[in-house]
Amino acid sequence: MKKVLLFSVIIALSFSCAKKVSEEKKESKEVSKPAKKDTTPAVVVGGDSDSHGCKASAGYNWSILKKECIRIFENSTKLSHAEDGKTYSTVAYVIFDGDKAELFLDTQKESIILERKSEGDSWVKDDLQLIPWKGYVLKKGEKIIYTGE
């Protein structure tokens, strides 16, 4: 009698365990079903060339003076924002070539070409003036907006 009872308990436990294992397998299959595929194209790093072929993600901008893609923060003069005596984190960059200066401002999409009449003069375009004084001072109208070495 004890053997029959023990045997029936073992059989009952094995069926309950088998049911549990089959439920777990079913749940894992449901979880591992592939999700709907996203049809948006993947963005390729470095695939952001502008109309000149310059890759902005790699730090390149088109230089009108140099006629090539350059990294303005490598071979240019850095000007720090100097408005109202406050400290700002924005900067401007200038590249010089003879009597021309190419100005890269964070507020402008394209660079600005400034020109001077002779050596020692300021570079000017419209209301912008780049003055060689204790480094450089960039003024817009009568307001100093950037200074640098």
Q: For residue 6, what is the enclosing H or E element?
A: helix 2-31
Split at pLDDT 50, 70, 90, the class of 28 is low
Confidence band, pLDDT 50/70/90 cuts, at residue 139: very high
87: which residues sit within 8 A by CB, 6+ positions away? none
Task: Give pLDDT, residue 141.
Answer: 92
Between strands 143-148 and 91-97, the pairing is unpaired
- Tell me the two tokens of residue 121: 């003069």
Q: How confident is the model at residue 94 (pLDDT cuts 50, 70, 90)?
A: very high
Please provide the DSSP assignment of 109-139 as one string: SS-EEEE-SSTTSPEEETTEEEE-SSSEEEE
> For residue 143, how many other CB atoms are within 10 A of its CB?
11
